[in-house]
Chain A
């Protein structure tokens, strides 16, 4: 008794009786059961990253592999539903964009914490925005928020409410928060403390990244079960697509996020239930002519390439239906313009792909003074119409498209030389020396908003590929595009923005600075063991709903 009062209770003392031992064992068993119950039974999802992730800092992401890890680990205020293309609340319960498009106010969820247990509050959002807009960080994600000169201000109204004010209006401001993973302002683990469904557990450079379920993830399903269902994700770093395909066939990985049409058909022939064609994606393949005034091309070729009628005629003489059907085995659609029909809101549905008509193309060219002589097209000065199309060596789809275009244009007497160059040489010719005639390349669109294409359409932009960095717009239609793009960017009203961008699409269709060839379909492969997968056209196609996936 004295011993008890003095508080010196020994472990032997506690388990001194059989009864007490039994109670202890019962509690131990209950504890073990609780541990087992807390582990999810969703299994492990395995797939490949096609390159080494360059960073785990979500604000510095600029490559696909790092983007995939950000998507799986990062907690965002708002998330665009990849299926409906609608914006949905995540860490923010609600949000409001000011009428002038400069300010956004978020009401945050309360009681959430990062993967390391650090509580989440408006301070973390403020810290993330400050980091994002820090010029010294050079955040590619932050670039999308740089609306104009001046500082971005954050005002923490309460632990669950924050207002962010930008120096100038930002069109589609709320949608851009889909890419902003919130960092912890206080955690010692820095960017490794996350709010997303998974967290990085292990990284073996050159081999794999292991993610495990974030025990503090805030979401529960309708039945009250903690999400995500999966226990872990193993991301193997594998750049070789043949090996990726073999591993999928052997069952070593569970999905291929984006699969070539050739592999798709091979898999479809043996296991049609494993492949999914989600329809046209945002990606396009296009060609364009060099319109740079200072390029080292002969003057008569510059005249051809600067003629809208010439470009439209070439476009009309290319059988885009065949490109889709033959090169992409039907897993592509003839493209109409800079926006894919997959982009439900921004696509101008009034535009229809140009019909293939070599006769109409030839008539257009003849109206411009060209003439067909002994199977060879000649301009008014008697110069034979010969030009080269460059594409990047090793891309078999582009090489095939270029060869088919060569064949199509031969029918109207245009002689095309197909040149494949290594990518750095191609880029040098395209951006430095301008020593090229036509280029065939593709464009991967990640976002839906027209603002993400500003760097292509503004005539002063470096990526205005057919004639970059114009001091002032060299043509009236380029000046009009500049005006319309700026107008839509300055407006916060979706309807007005849509009107402006619809007109941009019409001008691009009429002037054909880019000859849009095809929109590739979003193809993927998912093993039968993966349940809940519903591939879509937007990245990440197969695991956009990762919280709901299970592997049996």
Chain B
């Protein structure tokens, strides 16, 4: 009974993610005015027939911005998660497989990265970037940076998992059969790391969505006029009460729903991994 109920929640989460992804992919049809057009005569307007979620402070249609912002976050967070999982597999997985001094060196580097205050690191890297990049490039760079800096925790997990596989009976047996080096890693070790890799991938997605939102709130995320959840959440600054302009909470509600859905799907992946 309990099993079925949990399964129903997961199905619901999957369905929600699919609906959100579908709707955001149809943004061009649902919000043809686009995310950048400024209706300056209707700046800060409440929801209306023309603007379903009202307009932001410079008159841009909030509904369009939510759709496009969600699309950006939903497309690029998994991409960043892919980059970070790949790097974690490369550094952590290989270090664990090779063991000894390799593992110790790799983990020392990982510890060093883990000890860095990532937010300040991101701000520093962002400040060093060239200025004249288009908003689309800026969004790609932001998520790439998140991916390149977010591999460390996953690398530790993978190093430990690969280390335990290295000493497992089936790897010893393969080694005794004459399989060594890269072939042993690709054929016997990596496939057994897959569940951990999946889990790390799914964990990273909501983490990167939230990281981008954090950067966006600081004004350091995706460049204007491109929307993202971070820049949309910035609108909540200065709201004195929840009831004041409740439609401004839509991006926040969407963020919570999507991150929660990812977590529910993730728990399913955990079971697969187990």
**A positions within 8 Å CB-CB of B:** 241-242, 245-246, 249, 260, 262-263, 266, 322, 325-327, 329, 386-388, 390, 393-396, 399-400, 402-404, 406-407, 417-422, 425, 435-437
Contact = CB atoms under 8 A, between A and B. Distances in A.
Contact of B218 (A327, A393, A403): A393
A245 B124 CA distance: 32
Contacts of A263: 238
Interface stretch (B17-25, B85-93, B130-138, B166-174): B130-138
A388 B220 CA distance: 15
A403 B138 CA distance: 15
Given A327-B58, A420-B223, 4 more contacts: A407-B38, A417-B223, A422-B127, A422-B218
A422 B123 contact: yes
Nearest to A319: B40
A386 B240 contact: no
B240 A393 contact: no
B168 to A, nearest CB: 48
Interface residues on B, range: 20 to 34
A434 B250 CA distance: 41
Contact of A249 (B132, B220, B224, B240): B240
B234 interface: yes
A80 to B, nearest CB: 33
A379 to B, nearest CB: 15
Contacts of B38: 404, 407
A326 B220 contact: no
Contacts of A266: 240, 244
B132 A396 contact: no
Interface in B42-59: 43-44, 57-59
A134 B226 CA distance: 54
Contact of B132 (A242, A327, A388, A420): A388
B271 interface: no
6 contacts: A393-B219, A396-B57, A406-B224, A418-B224, A422-B127, A425-B127
B240 A246 contact: yes
A539 B46 CA distance: 35
Contacts of B133: 417
A326 B57 contact: yes
Contacts of A406: 224-225
Contacts of B219: 393-396, 399, 420
Interface in B123-150: 123-124, 126-127, 131-135, 138
B224 A326 contact: no
Contact of B224 (A329, A402, A425): A402
B240 A245 contact: yes
Given A404-B58, A421-B127, A322 B224 contact: no
B153 interface: no
B220 A422 contact: yes
Contact of A419 (B44, B131, B225, B238): B131
A396 B44 CA distance: 14
B233 interface: no
B131 A400 contact: no
Nearest to B132: A388
B220 A417 contact: no
A417 B131 CA distance: 8
Contacts of B223: 417-420
Given A388-B131, A417-B132, A437-B131, A327 B57 contact: yes
